[in-house]
Amino acid sequence: MFEFLNQPEVIKTIVTLGAMSLFFVGLFGLLTRKHIVKVFISIAIMESAIFLLFIGLSFNREKVAPIIDATQTQVATMNDPIPQAMILTAIVIGMAVLALGVSFAIEYYKLTGKTEIDTMNEMRF
Amino acid sequence: MSSTLFIALPLLFGFATPLLSRLGKNALAYTSVLMQLSLLGLALSLLLAHSSTTVELISIAAPLGISFVLSTASLLMVLLFTLLMTLFSLYYLFQRRANAYANESKFFTLLNMLLAASIGLVLSSDIFNIYVFFEIAGISAYILSAYSKTALALESGLKYLLTGAVASIFLLFAIVLIYLHVGSLNLAVIAEQFQLLPYNVKLLISLLLLIGFGFKVEVFPLNFWVTDVYQGSTSLVNALFSGIVVKAYLFVFFHILYLFLSQGEFTLFLLYLGGVSMLVAEVAGLRQTNLKRLFAYSSLGQVALIFVAFAMQNIQAVQAAFFIVIAHSLAKFMLFLALASLEKTEQNMHIDRLKQIDSPFLMVMMFLAMLSLLGIPLFVGFVGKFLLLKSLAVEGMLTLLVMVVVASFIEAIYYFKLMGYMLHKGTRSEKVEVSLGEKMIFVSLGLSLLLLGVFPMSIAGFLQNAAEVLLDQTAYITLLVGG
Amino acid sequence: MNIKRDIPTATLSGFALSAVLVLTLITILLQYLPLSQQRVGDALLVLNEKEGVANVVTTVVVYFRGFDTLGEIAVLFIASLGVGLMLQPNTECRLKAESNFMLQTASTLLFPLILLFGIYVMVYGHLSPGGGFQGGVIIASGVLLLLISHKNFEVPHTVIVAFETVAGVSYVLIGFMGLLLLDTFLGNFIPHDIANMGMLLSGGVIPLIYIIVGIKVGSEMSGIVQNLMQRSDDV
Amino acid sequence: MTGFIILATFVGIIVVAFASIVQKRLADSVVFLMGVGLGSVVLFFLFKAPDVALTEAVIGAGVGTFIFLIALKHLGEQA
């Protein structure tokens, strides 16, 4: 019943629209939310959007996952492994930065009691 | 010899830190300096060998896998970074007894990771590999910025981290689009095929790359975080930020720009962006009373000057850019180290305290550095500014010429104010002790500023060669992709 | 409902700004959907038939783009170092409540299974989906389970550091071995017969590196998790 | 059916992400973010990327959520 959704062009359109809407949600959060945890959440959402966009636009529904086994030996029928490898790397890096950011935020809160990024202005004098 | 060593050795050192710190209190510090010295020796021997551009493969052949390209231009940057990092480590060793960092082994790890990442940014020819090094350099810089764990330091670290995370998202977005449309990550292959893309896609990728790198190369609307970070971090670490990290990002951004982004209107836009950020930074610097913040604004202005020079895209201007890079790195390094020596008693100096301090040696050294930054003849800063102005005049870009002159004039106002404070007659109460080792480092930095300024011809040929190599797109493509 | 009063202007303008940006992005992206042209990945798939392992993603991550993985390990290493630096445990006041007996027993029983699963994912990373990163994080989540359920549980700091150091150093040393023997950093210097593809012992240096990556990721993630947990006890 | 599942999952993810941004209670936000991670796992699986799906499952939805919860424990639960 929804067969028309399986055409490659349609899938690519869905992925583009979906991932960009997700990116929009993240960007909106980044621009308007002030709480530090919300900012980190927004950044995580934006990152997910990029990951989904990349994998979604580079895959081909006709092809299989790039793993050779007894039934799949033809490389011509496999999906591109590079985007997957890149996103694997990017996910881990994003998590590392997130953990570090949270530890900064916790220590900062311990010292000053502030969690809103627009009140973080110890400097200016 | 292998260019991979420049990256792999500091990484190995970083990973092995816990092992080395077992060996004794000083073993780690000395091995770190020793390793940096040997890297410096390697870079110098490569310089003297006058070898042509070499490609170092990782695992598989060039267009498919990652490779490192060591050309005259990247060798220049590698040499600069290793030299500055070695001097930094030596300086740290000399003043260590007085005020060592807490958890010293972690500090050394971060320094070496920063060195590895900066060199990796300069050498790598694969855009995703550049993203990874971008992150390593960023993440070590965040921690170095927050290292002292005071409220100020943590705030600056947090701001640095947030802007850096946003920047890396945009950079990753650009890389994703490049791979989807070009089908490769190798800079040479991208350079070959980028011009065939539709105009809008090219524009989008250029803008995303500009946003991604713009945070890091500190151009105008995206540099709001810089001064806060400089103010929150210690002066010691600021020396690294303005001497090494920014320069690595600038180099890689313009390397990418020359390879495939350079189109008429986009570069013109970049030129004026640089001009505007220069003016804004200098004007905002005028009313600063905190020394660190003042130097941060001056740093922004100088980095924008380098930005303009690189964006000119001709050999003379790029040669001038290299001159300013060297001059600014050495001079700012000196200023921030001097500030670190002065700040042993108190962080965040007000400029009035310059009147109180009794240390003729440091005053002379800061004086030298400021003169070079202002572009007074006989200093290397003059050579760079002069060449840039000449090239702007030859190209007939009068607006930019006026912008550069006005910015230099404004910069002169506040530096002369500082010099006036330093020459202020009156009782000077605060004595600052400077050890012999520290003095040697300051003297060597100051002498190199003077010597390069008096004999600019000694390196002009090398810098011109570097500029030619950096601008030569076809040679790079032939080297990596083959005829 | 009065929109102007209920939603602050900053929110509205942020909404408008991001909407405009993203709509532009969508227009350009949809207008020029990328063609399915020749990509490097296809060339790598072919190359994988000659020198890779069954899971092509593993070959790409560990071998073809090996330096990215080394850099990624470095990022994780620095992050774990930074978290440790920021949140140094304050061992004097640990106020964690003793958890339920059932929970304790269950997690003690589960931990070996999780560990086994993590090691399986790690060791079979070159044959099936999974590998060092995933396996390492699974092991770290097992450690997390024990940390939550047992009041006094703690992986000794020296153990974490030892694993981390040995794994990191041996990764770079394997790279140097490749440089010495084959003249490319991270070259595959262990003999690997391509006829063995799909077997546990195949691919030469690739599974070895992925296991090292797994150990490194596992110890670093455990370190991060433990630091975050311990600091949270002294609230 | 693939196309339809992709569409439905995307709609779900976007709704959950938006809820996570506008939610007042931070704990709810974090749980919604975990929903985004789980949806991404499904999508990665449909996109023929099992390795990425596994990674996203253990990191995005697992450890990431834990880190956020630790952050909440310190920073308070109200935005």
Over chain C, what is the mean pLDDT? 82
C124, C166 Cβ separation under 8 angstroms: no
Is pLDDT above 70 for D25?
yes
Span of B142-151, C38-47, C65-74 with lowest mean pLDDT: C38-47
- Give the pLDDT confidence score for residue B101 in this predicted structure: 76
In chain B, positions 228-257, which contact chain C (CB-CB < 8 Å)? Answer: none
> What does residue C123 show for φ and ψ, rounded to 5 degrees?
-75, -30
CA D5/CA B262 separation, integer angstroms: 42
User: Torsions phi, psi of B70, nearest 5?
Assistant: -105, 100
Report if residue A25 sits inside a domain. yes
Q: A-chain residues within 8 Å CB-CB of D67? A: 95, 98-99, 102
Give the Cα separation of B261 and B255 in Å (integer). Answer: 10
**Crossing angle of the two packed helices B5-22 and C157-182, in degrees rounded to 10:** 150
Q: Of C137, B165, C146, B226, nearest to A105 (Cα)? A: B165
DSSP3 helix / strand / coil % (chain A, rounded to 5)? 70, 5, 25
Establish if A95 belongs to a structural domain. Answer: yes
Q: Do the strands B67-70 and B357-358 form a parallel or antiparallel pair, or are they unpaired?
A: unpaired
Question: Which residue bears the tokens 């009147």?
Answer: B355
What is the model's pLDDT at position A116?
82
Enumerate residue ranges in chain B where pLDDT < 70.
1, 98-100, 344-347, 483
Q: What are phi and psi of B348, to 5 degrees?
A: 50, 70
- If phi > 0 it is left, if psi is from -120 to 50 it is alpha, else beta; for residue B183 that is left
Q: Would you place residue C36 in the very low, low, confident or very high pLDDT band (cuts 50, 70, 90)?
A: low
**What pLDDT band is residue A125 in, cutting at 50, 70 and 90?**
very low
CB C168 within 8 Å of CB B16 = yes
Check residues B78 and C231 and name the one with the higher pLDDT.
Answer: B78
Listed range (B303-312, B419-428, C95-104, C162-171) with the worst mean pLDDT: C95-104
Residues with Cβ < 8 Å from D68, sequence gap 6 or more?
A37, A40, A41, A102, D30, D33
Chains A and B touch (3+ CB pairs under 8 A): yes
Total tally of structural domains belonging to chain A: 1
Q: List the alpha helices (DSSP H) in A33-123.
A: 36-58, 81-112
State the pLDDT confidence band at C231, using cuts at 50, 70 and 90: low
| pLDDT higher than 50, residue C227 | yes
* pLDDT beyond 60 at D76: yes
Question: What's the gap in Å between the CA of D21 and the closest CA on chain C?
Answer: 12
Look up the domain containing A111 and give its range. 3-61+79-119
User: Is residue A44 domain-resident?
Assistant: yes
Please check the confidence at residue A124 and state whether its pLDDT lies above 70: no
Q: How far apart are CA B127 and CA B121, in angstroms?
A: 10
Q: Is residue A100 part of a domain?
A: yes
- Closest in A39, A47, A58 to B180, CB measured: A58
**Terminal Cα distance for chain C, rounded:** 43
Average pLDDT of chain A to the nearest whole number: 86
SS (H, E, C) chain B: CCCCHHHHHHHHHHHHHHHHHHCCCCHHHHHHHHHHHHHHHHHHHHHHHCCCCEEEEECCCCCCCCEEEECHHHHHHHHHHHHHHHHHHHHHHHCCCCCCCCCHHHHHHHHHHHHHHHHHHHHECEHHHHHHHHHHHHHHHHHHHCCCCCHHHHHHHHHHHHHHHHHHHHHHHHHHHHHHHHCCCEHHHHHHHHCCCCHHHHHHHHHHHHHHHHHHHCCHHHCCCHHHHHHHCCHHHHHHHHHHHHHHHHHHHHHHHHHHHCCHHHHHHHHHHHHHHHHHHHHHHCCCCEHHHHHHHHHHHHHHHHHHHHHCCCHHHHHHHHHHHHHHHHHHHHHHHHHHHHCCCCCCCEHHHHHCEECHHHHHHHHHHHHHHHCCCCCHHHHHHHHHHHHHHHHCCHHHHHHHHHHHHHHHHHHHHHHHHHHCCCCCCEECCCCHHHHHHHHHHHHHHHHHHHCCHHHHHHHHHHHHHHHCHHHHHHHHHCC
Parallel, antiparallel or unpaired: strands B54-57 and B67-70: antiparallel
Q: What's the CA gap between B271 and B420, in Å, rounded?
A: 34
- Residue linked to tokens 């004039």: B409
Q: Is A35 on the interface with D (CB under 8 A)?
A: yes
Q: Where are the beta strands (DSSP E) in chain A?
A: none
Asked if residue A66 belongs to a domain, the reply is: no
pTM of the model: 0.94
- Single out the residue of C196, C194, C201, C198 nearest to residue C47, CA to CA: C194
Facing A17 at nearest CB: one of C26, C49, C60: C26
Binary contact (C129, A67; C-beta < 8 A)? yes
Q: What pLDDT, in 10s, does the model give residues A5-36? A: 778 888 888 999 999 999 999 999 998 888 89
- Give domain status of residue A87, yes or no: yes
Tell me the two tokens of residue C230: 């311990």
Q: Are strands B357-358 and B430-431 parallel, antiparallel or unpaired?
A: parallel
Query: Cβ–Cβ of D59/A42 closer than 8 Å?
Result: no
* Residues of chain A positioned with their CB less than 8 A from the CB of B173: 50
Record: contact D71-A28, CB cut-off 8 A: no
Per CB-CB distance under 8 Å, the chain C contacts of B69 are none
- Our CA angle for C185, C187, C188, nearest 5°, is 160
Do residues B305 and B247 make contact, with C-beta atoms less than 8 angstroms apart? no
Biggest CA pair distance of chain A: 69
> Are residues B4 and C28, on separate chains, in Cβ contact within 8 Å?
no
Tell me, what's the pLDDT at C91? 46
Interchain proximity A81–C56, CB inside 8 Å: yes
Whole-Å CA distances, B74 to B89, B465, C63:
22, 11, 25
Rg, Å, chain A Cα set: 20
Q: Indicate if the pLDDT at residue C102 is higher than 90.
A: no
Tokens 């990247």 identify what position? B74
Whether C92 shows a pLDDT value over 60: the answer reads no
Q: Give the model's pLDDT for residue B345.
A: 61
Kindly list the residues from chain D whose CB atom is less than 8 angstroms away from the CB atom of residue C86: none
Least confident of A58-72, B162-176, C56-70, C215-229: A58-72
Between helices A81-112 and C205-233, what is the axis angle to 10°?
Answer: 20
| Domain assignment present for A8 | yes
What does the block give as tokens for C161? 């550091």
DSSP state of A6: G
**Backbone torsions φ then ψ of A18, nearest 5 degrees:** -65, -50
CA distance D48 to B4: 35
Which residue in D55, D73, D74 is closest to C134 by CB distance? D55
Q: Do residues C100 and A118 make contact, with C-beta atoms less than 8 angstroms apart? A: no
Q: Tell me which chain B residue has its CA closest to the CA of residue C167.
A: B15
Interchain CB contacts (distance < 8 Å): A and C? 141
Return phi, psi of residue C55, to 5°. -85, 105
CA B451 to the chain's CA centroid: 21
Q: Is residue A73 part of a domain?
A: no
Q: What is the pLDDT at residue C218?
A: 92
* Residue C177 in this model has a pLDDT that exceeds 50: yes
| Confidence grade of residue C107 (pLDDT, cut at 50, 70, 90) | confident
Q: What span, in angstroms and rounded, lies between the C-alpha atoms of C82 and B20? A: 19
Question: Are the CB atoms for B401 and B443 separated by under 8 Å?
Answer: no
- All residues of chain A having their beta carbon less than 8 Å from the beta carbon of residue C18 are 24, 27-28, 31
Which ipTM value was assigned to this complex?
A: 0.93
Q: How many CA atoms lie within 13 Å of B139's alpha carbon, on the beta-carbon side?
A: 33
Q: What is the CATH number of the domain that holds A49?
A: 1.10.287.3510
Smallest CA–CA separation between D26 and chain A, in Å? 8
Yes or no: say if B351 and B262 are a contact pair by the CB < 8 Å rule. no
Closest CA to B216 of B295, B285, B308, B137: B137
Whether A98 and D64 lie within 8 Å, measured CB to CB: yes
Higher pLDDT, A1 or C131: C131
* Long-range CB contacts (within 8 A, 24+) of C158-163: C160/C219, C160/C222, C160/C223, C160/C226, C161/B18, C161/C219, C162/B18, C163/C215, C163/C216, C163/C218, C163/C219
Assign C93 a pLDDT band (cuts: 50, 70, 90): very low
Task: Choose from C49, C65, C80, C160 for mutation: most chain B CBs within 10 A.
Answer: C65
Contact A54, A20 (CB under 8 A): no
Q: Distance between CA C194 and CA C201 in Å, rounded?
A: 11
Q: At B435, phi and psi to the nearest 5?
A: -75, 165
Query: How is chain B split among helix, strand and coil, in percent rounded to 5?
Result: 80, 5, 20
